[in-house]
C-alpha cells in the first residue's frame, strides 16, 4: 500500500536522506521517497504492521512535522 | 504540563520556542554585559542560549549521522562545541541562534513558493452531494462512483469530473484553464472538479472522481514537474555531496597548519552550502507553480530550463494558427438584382426576409448562400459543413431539403429542388451542367484562390449565381502572438503545414510570418525541425494532430494547445496549455526565460557569497557570528529572489 505524507518543513535537501532512512528503518516499510521540491513523501508499506500515524511519528523523530494526505 | 510536552513533541513549535528562548537569552546576556557589566552572568546566559538552540541542531545532526549522512547541522554542532570549548560563548550563541532562526525564516518563505500547489490541493472540495435513490446524500468526493449523479449548487465547487445532465450555469474554470471568463454550461457540456459553479443548479453525471479527475492529474503533473530535477540542480547536488566532507577536511587542515581553533571552526560554519543547494529548486518550484496558475503545465525543471533557451519556434498551421474549422469568408453575388423571382419568392414565402436581418451579408448574397445550402444540406463534405454552419450562424432561416442530389467527387454537387437545378462546385462541374462561366465569375475565382481560399461556383438553372470563398480563418490573436514571441526573444519562427503553398502563404502573411514550409509530409516536418537544430537553434514546436507527433518528439520542447480534458496531451507534451489561447505560448516562453534567469542569478548569489566568505575568513576579516549572519542572509535572498517569479 502506498501512503502519501506532506510536509511544509523541508528547507534544505539534506533532510531528504535523513527522513527516507528513518522511514525505511520501520518494520513493514518497503520503500520511502522524499521529494524535497514539493515536500511530498511517498511511502510503500504494509498496512497491517505500519499505519499512517506511525509514519508521521517516524518523520517527527528526525525533527520534521508532516501529515497524511489524500493524494 | 502535558500541553507543554505536546508542544515540545511538535518539531515545528519546539523550534519556534527554542528560537525565541535563545534569542531572549542572548538579549539578556548582552544587557547583562553592557548595562550591568556582569561578565560572568553574561557568559552563563550566552552558554544557555547556545545550549538551547544547539540542542535541536545537535539532535538533527546525530539523526543524520546515524544514517551515515554528514549534514550541515553536524558542521554547526562541531563548530558550536568547539567555540564553547575555547570560551567563545558569544560566537557559539550567535551561530546557533542564527542557524535556527534562519531555518525558521526559510521554512516560512519556502512554503510561499510551494503555495500554488497548496492552492491547487485546496481547490478540490472534500465532499459531494450525490443523488442516491432520490435522496441527497453527502459523501467524500473521492468515494463518488462513476455514473452517479451529483448535485452542484450555485456558488459551490464542482467536486467531480462529469457531464451536465440538467441545468444551465456559468462555471468559472480559471483554476483549470487559466481563462478568466466563465464558461456557459448546458446539458451535455463537460465540467471539471475544482471549478466554481457561479449561477444555477447543475445535475452532473460523474465521469471521474478523486484521483481520476483532470484536477488531480494536473496536481500530479505539477508535482512531478517540480520534483523532476533540473540539470543545474542535479549538478549542484552532486557537488554538495562532496562539498560538505570537503569543508570538514579543509577546516581540519586549516587547524593543523595554523593551530588556531577559532579560525578552523569559522571555516566550518561559513562553508555550509545552504544557498547553493536551494538556489535551483526554489526557482523551479516557483516558476512551475506560477505557470500552472495561468493554465500552463510545464513537465519539469529540465523542460523549464530548455524552454528558457528557445531561439526558434515551429508552428503547425491548421488548428494552431487557424481555428481549424473552414468558414465561408466571401460571398460574391453576380446578379445585381434578384432576377430569380421564382426562387426568391419561393424562399421568402417559407422563410420571412426578416430571418436574415442583422446578417453581414446583403439580401442578394443571402440568396446565393441559401441556394448553395439547399444543394449541400445532405452532404457530409467539409465544405458543405462550412456552408451550413454559415447559414445557421447568420440565422438565414430553415433550409428545405433538396428533392434529389448527387455528389460528383472532386468537382462538387448537383441537386434539384422544386424544378430548379442547382450546381455547387468547380468550373468542370459547370461545364458538365452546361453552365457558361463568364469573365467576371472567373476573375472572382482566380482572386479568391490567390488569397489561399477554396472557391466554389454556385449555379441555378443554367446561370452562375455567385461565387463562395471558403477558408480556414486565422485565429484573431495570431498576429499579436507572433509579435509577442519575437519580443520574448524567439529569433526564428517558421510555419510548417501539409496544406498547399498558396493557402499557407495567405495565412502566414496575415499572421505576420515570412518563413513558410508548405505541402509537407509528417517526416518533412521532422526534417525541418532537425535542420533548425543543426543551425544551432533550441527549437520548440507547437502542434496538435497525429501528423505533428514526429516533429513534436524531435523538437527540444513540444507544446500542446487546448489540453484541458485531453489527458494524452497533459501526459505527453513538454508544455501543455490548458486553454485554447494562443497568447499562453509567449507567456510560457517568457516565464521559462525568467525562471532560467532566476536560477542563474541564484547560483551566482550563492557562489559569490560562499567564495566571498571563504576568502574573507582566510584573510581573517570575517568571524564566526558575522559569517553565519551573511550566510543565512544569502539563503533568504535566494528564496526571496525565487519568489519574485510568483509575481511575474
| Pairwise CB contact (< 8 Å): A8 & B114 | yes
CATH number of the domain bearing residue A7: 3.30.70.100
CA distance B70 to chain A (A): 9
CB pairs A-B closer than 8 Å = 87
B56 neighbourhood in chain A, CB within 8 Å: 63
Is A53 an interface residue toward B (CB < 8 Å)?
A: no
* Mean pLDDT value across residues B166-188: 80
Q: Give the chain A residue whose CA is nearest to the CA of B106.
A: A11
Q: Is the dihedral of CA B294, B299, B300, B304 positive or negative?
A: negative
Question: Do you know the residue count of chain B?
Answer: 648
Answer whether A26 touches B (CB < 8 Å).
no
Of B21-35, B88-102, B214-228, B370-384, the least confident: B214-228
Q: Distance (Å, rounded) from C-alpha A71 to C-alpha B125?
A: 13
Whether the pLDDT of residue B346 is over 70: the answer is no
Confidence of residue B341 (pLDDT cuts 50, 70, 90): very low
Residue of A nearest to B284 (CA): A37
State the number of CA atoms in the 13 A half-sphere of B337 facing the CB: 3
Q: Please state, rounded to an integer, the average pLDDT across all residues of chain A.
A: 85
Provide mean pLDDT across the span B223-232: 75
**Helices B363-376/B341-350 angle, 10° precision:** 80
Per-residue confidence (pLDDT) for residue B568, from 0 to 100: 57
Domain span including residue A21: 2-69
Residue B367 near residue B344 (C-beta atoms within 8 A): yes
Interface test with B, best of A14, A18, A24, A39 (most B CBs within 10 A): A14
Average pLDDT over residues B268-273: 73
Which ipTM was obtained for this model? 0.74
- Inter-chain contact B67–A17, Cβ cutoff 8 Å? yes
The rounded distance, in Å, linking the Cα atoms of B6 and B237 is 35
Tell me the per-residue pLDDT of B49-64, one tens digit each, with 9 for 90 and over. 999 999 888 888 887 7
**Chain A residues touching residue B72 (CB < 8 angstroms):** 12, 14
Is the CB of A8 less than 8 angstroms away from the CB of B111?
A: yes
Contact status of A51 with chain B (Cβ, < 8 Å) = no
Between CA B306 and CA B320 the distance in angstroms is 22
Residue recorded with cell 520574448? B488
In tens, the pLDDT along B14-43 reads 888 888 999 999 999 988 888 888 888 889
| pLDDT tens string B543-597 | 765 567 678 778 889 888 766 555 555 666 788 888 778 888 999 999 999 999 9
Which of A22, A37, A64 has the CB atom closest to B281's CB atom? A37
Measured in angstroms, the CA of B66 and the nearest CA of chain A are apart by 9
Q: How far is A12 from chain B (nearest CA, A)?
A: 7
User: Is the CB of residue A33 less than 8 Å away from at least one CB of chain B?
Assistant: no
Do the Cβ atoms of B110 and A11 come within 8 Å?
yes
Q: How many domains does chain A have?
A: 1
**In B538-583, where does DSSP find H-type helix?**
549-554, 567-572
Q: Which has the closest alpha carbon to B263: B613, B609, B626, B620?
A: B620
Taking Cα atoms as reference points, which of B377, B340, B330, B336 lies closest to residue B462?
B340
Give the ranges where B463-500 is alpha helix by DSSP (H): 478-487
Residue B352 has pLDDT above 50, yes or no: no
Amino acid at each position: 500500500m502506498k501512503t502519501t505524507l506532506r510536509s511544509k518543513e523541508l528547507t534544505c535537501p539534506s533532510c531528504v536522506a535523513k527522513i527516507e532512512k528513518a522511514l525505511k528503518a520501520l518494520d513493514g516499510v518497503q520503500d520511502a521517497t522524499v521529494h524535497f521540491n514539493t515536500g511530498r513523501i511517498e511511502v510503500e508499506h504494509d498496512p497491517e504492521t505500519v499505519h499512517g500515524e506511525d509514519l508521521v511519528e517516524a518523520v517527527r523523530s528526525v525533527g520534521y512535522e508532516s501529515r497524511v494526505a489524500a493524494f | 504540563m502535558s500541553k507543554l510536552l505536546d508542544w515540545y513533541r511538535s518539531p515545528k513549535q519546539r523550534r519556534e520556542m527554542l528560537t525565541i528562548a535563545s534569542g531572549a537569552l542572548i538579549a539578556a546576556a548582552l544587557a547583562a554585559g553592557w548595562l550591568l557589566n556582569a561578565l560572568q552572568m553574561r557568559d552563563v546566559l550566552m552558554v544557555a542560549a547556545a545550549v538551547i538552540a544547539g540542542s535541536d541542531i545537535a539532535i538533527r545532526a546525530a539523526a543524520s549521522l546515524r544514517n551515515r549522512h554528514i549534514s550541515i547541522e553536524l558542521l554547526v554542532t562541531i563548530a558550536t562545541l568547539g567555540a564553547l570549548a575555547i570560551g567563545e560563548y558569544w560566537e557559539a550563541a550567535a551561530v546557533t541562534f542564527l542557524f535556527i532562526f534562519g531555518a525558521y525564516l526559510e521554512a516560512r518563505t519556502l512554503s510561499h513558493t510551494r503555495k500554488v500547489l497548496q492552492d491547487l490541493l485546496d481547490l478540490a472540495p472534500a465532499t459531494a452531494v450525490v443523488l442516491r435513490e432520490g435522496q441527497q446524500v453527502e459523501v467524500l468526493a473521492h468515494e463518488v462512483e462513476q455514473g452517479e449523479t451529483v448535485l452542484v449548487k450555485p456558488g459551490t465547487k464542482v467536486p467531480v469530473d462529469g457531464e451536465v445532465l440538467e441545468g444551465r450555469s456559468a462555471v468559472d474554470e480559471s483554476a483549470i484553464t487559466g481563462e478568466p471568463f466563465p464558461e456557459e454550461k448546458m446539458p451535455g457540456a463537460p465540467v471539471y472538479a475544482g471549478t466554481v459553479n457561479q449561477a444555477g443548479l447543475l445535475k452532473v453525471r460523474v465521469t471521474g472522481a478523486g484521483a481520476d479527475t483532470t484536477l488531480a492529474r494536473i496536481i500530479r503533473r505539477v508535482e512531478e514537474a517540480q520534483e523532476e530535477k533540473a540539470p543545474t540542480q542535479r549538478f549542484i547536488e552532486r557537488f554538495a555531496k562532496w562539498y560538505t566532507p570537503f569543508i570538514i577536511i579543509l577546516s581540519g587542515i586549516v587547524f593543523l597548519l595554523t593551530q588556531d581553533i577559532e579560525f578552523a571552526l569559522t571555516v566550518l560554519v561559513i562553508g555550509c552550502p545552504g544557498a547553493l543547494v536551494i538556489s535551483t529548486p526554489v526557482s523551479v518550484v516557483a516558476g512551475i507553480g506560477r505557470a500552472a496558475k495561468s493554465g500552463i503545465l510545464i513537465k519539469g525543471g529540465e523542460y523549464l530550463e530548455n524552454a528558457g533557451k528557445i531561439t526558434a519556434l515551429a508552428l503547425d498551421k491548421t488548428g494552431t494558427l487557424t481555428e481549424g474549422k473552414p468558414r465561408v469568408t466571401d460571398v460574391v453575388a453576380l446578379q445585381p438584382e434578384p432576377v430569380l423571382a421564382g426562387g426568391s419568392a419561393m424562399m421568402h414565402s417559407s422563410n420571412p426576409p426578416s430571418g436574415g436581418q442583422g446578417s453581414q451579408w446583403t439580401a442578394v448574397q443571402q440568396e446565393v448562400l441559401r441556394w448553395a445550402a439547399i444543394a449541400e444540406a445532405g452532404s457530409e463534405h467539409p465544405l458543405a459543413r462550412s456552408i451550413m454552419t454559415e447559414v445557421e450562424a447568420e440565422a438565414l432561416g430553415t433550409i428545405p431539403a433538396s428533392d434529389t442530389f448527387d455528389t460528383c467527387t472532386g468537382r462538387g454537387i448537383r441537386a434539384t429542388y422544386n424544378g430548379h437545378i442547382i450546381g455547387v462546385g468547380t468550373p468542370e462541374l459547370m461545364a458538365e451542367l452546361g453552365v457558361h462561366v463568364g469573365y467576371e465569375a472567373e476573375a472572382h475565382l482566380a482572386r479568391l484562390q490567390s488569397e489561399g481560399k477554396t472557391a466554389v461556383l454556385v449555379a441555378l438553372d443554367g446561370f452562375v449565381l455567385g461565387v463562395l470563398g471558403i477558408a480556414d480563418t486565422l485565429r484573431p490573436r495570431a498576429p499579436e502572438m507572433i509579435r509577442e514571441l519575437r519580443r520574448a526573444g524567439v529569433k526564428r519562427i517558421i510555419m510548417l503545414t501539409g496544406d498547399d503553398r498558396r493557402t499557407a502563404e495567405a495565412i502566414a502573411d496575415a499572421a505576420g510570418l515570412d518563413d513558410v514550409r508548405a505541402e509537407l509530409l509528417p517526416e518533412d516536418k521532422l526534417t525541418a525541425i532537425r535542420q533548425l537544430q543543426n543551425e544551432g537553434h533550441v527549437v520548440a514546436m507547437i502542434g496538435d494532430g497525429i501528423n505533428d507527433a514526429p516533429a513534436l518528439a524531435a523538437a527540444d520542447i513540444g507544446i500542446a494547445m487546448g489540453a484541458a480534458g485531453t489527458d494524452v496531451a497533459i501526459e505527453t507534451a513538454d508544455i501543455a496549455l490548458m486553454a485554447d489561447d494562443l497568447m499562453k505560448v509567449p507567456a510560457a516562453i517568457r516565464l521559462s526565460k525568467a525562471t532560467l534567469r532566476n536560477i542563474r542569478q541564484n547560483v551566482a548569489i550563492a557562489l559569490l557569497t560562499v567564495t566571498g566568505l571563504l576568502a574573507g575568513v582566510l584573510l581573517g576579516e570575517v568571524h564566526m557570528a558575522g559569517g553565519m549572519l551573511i550566510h543565512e542572509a544569502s539563503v533568504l535572498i535566494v528564496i526571496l529572489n525565487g519568489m519574485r517569479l510568483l509575481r511575474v
